Amino acid sequence: MPSRRDPCQHCRSDDTRPACGRCQTAGRKCVRSRPQFQFLNSTSAEYERPGERQKRLDLTHIDLSVEYVDETPALAALYHHESPASQSNPSLPPLPQSTTYAFASPSTPGHLWDTSSPASFEPTASPTSLRPSIQPPPVQLTLEEACLLRYFAETLGKWFDLCDPQRHFTTIVPQRARTCPPLLDAVLSASARHFSTLPSPQQLDITRKYGLQNGLTITEQSTLLYHNRCIAHLRSVSEEPNAIMDENLLAAVVTLRFYEELDTPFHPSPPATAIQGLQIFLEAQSHHPSITQTRSWTLRQSAFWIGIRQEFHMAFSQQRPFRLPLSLSTLLSSYPAPTPSTPDYIRVNALLILCAEVVQFCFDDTSARSIGVYDTLVGRRDEWVAGCSASFLPIYTSDGMVEEEEEEGGLMFPNRWYLEDCHIVAAQSLCFVRILLAAFNPRLLGLRGVGRMGEEAGEEVRDAVWEVCGVGVSNRWSPTGMLIAAFAVVVCAERFRGEGMRRKQEALMGVVREMRTERNYWPGVEMERRVRAVWGW
């Protein structure tokens, strides 16, 4: 049969002229035309640079994402780092920049899940970093996973959102977790660990509110499964060049750190997994321009400052320096100084930077504990307090009774009623700063520090502990108030030894026990054991 260079449009028959055989038999006009499209029987691998073909054949380098690109001349020039003005016809009007849409499975190894708005990226970012990603479909959750995700959104999110007016961990993180496997597993591991510490009646009440009459049992196996799966996901993206700038992965590491704090808040050698991850992510993302801008508040900023606050509390409780390799002086110089119009939650961030520097002064063996540096820190603390707005003041105060009295109820913590979580964070952080500066006053290190000054420093520490406990007890509605107060009791228990301290010890022990069993259900068995050992109970 002759070749069909110009096949008949009716029957795609032979190339016989002037009409194909079938059209002659049917008595119809034979209409011919050349095909509009021709396909090259080859592959793009033949045109790649030497060595590229072998790289593409390596399964570890396969990119499973599919992209649609409007390949205009202007965009092609951008991809090749050329100016559109260098096109052959410079008189042509500039073409609009095209949009790239990325499609990828949420379980694809190496895929990044950062869904930041383009406005939050650096102005010098490459064109490909400005593409808005279309969200992959949410994963199908099991009943247990759905309950734990709901528990995080309704209960645990508020633990993170203390200084976040947008409540990202309550509203945004649970939704992001549905399309970001590392974040989902971090959320599930934190929820499973916290839920498992609740008394059985409390667990049953919660699950019945979800419509599960028989309750839901979260086993240790499930908790470890989610934790290990999160670690595996984070390791799978660790080789990605842009992974450490992904705000969803930063949120996952912060949530994972919360999980490990649940297990070992006072462990002498806590797990290093989340600590190391937090170091890497916070160090990298501290250079992101959105960290120091205050015009809007993003998930990246929320997670970043949560990580700083977590590290401050752990450094205080474990009496060690910061383990975050941040250049605090650089961060301080780039962070905007508070002004009268600065929002309260931004002002608290400036206080956290000061807290970090105080921790380094007290516990870092390489720091110079000079009187000059000490006085500078004291002056900056006083300056921060003086610059606060009236909203930082409690709406009601009473000093309580700290003297030993025989009548029942004579010993009470002070009342400090606040309206917002960020004000509670500020008040208790200032108490921690008081404790550290009183205990590590360089004027007390010599012979002159013994005697009256030493007694005054001890009284200052006890007053600060009493104050931080009063803030926690007065604001039981805040999820972390009692926890931070218990940290202070454990760290400063030594200051409450001796004759005449029994009733104060009982009051302070009540804070630890309530934190553990009645209010927040935080694992506090080790905390109570340490305090009892110090007091010889």
- The answer to whether 505 and 245 are in contact (CB under 8 A) is no
User: What is the maximum span of the chain, computed from C-alpha positions, in angstroms?
Assistant: 123
Of the candidates 226, 216, 160, which has an alpha carbon nearest to the alpha carbon of residue 190? Answer: 226
- The answer to whether 75 and 127 are in contact (CB under 8 A) is yes
Q: In 58-111, which ranges are continuous DSSP H helix?
A: 73-79
Q: What is the pTM of this model?
A: 0.71
Q: In the prediction, which pLDDT does 461 show?
A: 94
Q: What are phi and psi of 338, to 5 degrees?
A: -60, 140
- The answer to whether 348 and 425 are in contact (CB under 8 A) is yes
Distance CA 330, CA 379 (A): 20
Distance CA 281, CA 186 (A): 15
Tokens of 519: 């209010």
Tokens of 296: 């809007």
Tokens of 224: 């470890």
476 to each of 396, 414, 431, 473, how far by Cα in Å? 15, 14, 18, 6
Q: In the prediction, which pLDDT does 341 show?
A: 83
Distance CA 318, CA 322 (A): 10
Q: In the prediction, which pLDDT does 435 show?
A: 96
Q: Where are the domains of the chain?
A: 1-30, 141-326, 335-537
104 to each of 111, 186, 229, 352, 429, how far by Cα in Å? 7, 21, 20, 38, 43
The pLDDT tens digits along the chain (537 residues) read: 444 456 666 665 666 777 777 777 777 777 765 544 333 333 333 334 444 434 333 433 434 343 434 444 443 443 343 333 334 444 433 433 332 223 233 333 334 555 554 333 333 333 333 334 455 667 789 999 999 999 999 999 999 999 998 999 999 999 999 999 999 999 999 999 899 888 888 899 999 999 988 888 888 888 889 999 988 888 877 677 778 788 999 899 899 888 877 766 555 555 555 566 667 777 777 777 777 776 778 899 899 899 889 889 988 988 888 876 655 556 666 677 787 888 898 899 889 989 988 998 998 876 667 889 999 999 999 999 999 999 999 999 998 765 554 444 456 899 999 999 999 999 999 999 999 999 999 887 654 445 667 788 889 999 999 999 999 999 999 988 999 999 999 999 999 988 788 889 999 999 999 888 766 667 778 888 899 999 998
Q: In the prediction, which pLDDT does 125 show?
A: 38
Q: In the prediction, which pLDDT does 285 show?
A: 73
State how beta strands 101-103 and 66-68 pair.
antiparallel
Q: 299-318 vs 344-363: helix axis angle to the nearest 10?
A: 30
Q: In the prediction, which pLDDT does 485 show?
A: 94
- The answer to whether 323 and 360 are in contact (CB under 8 A) is no
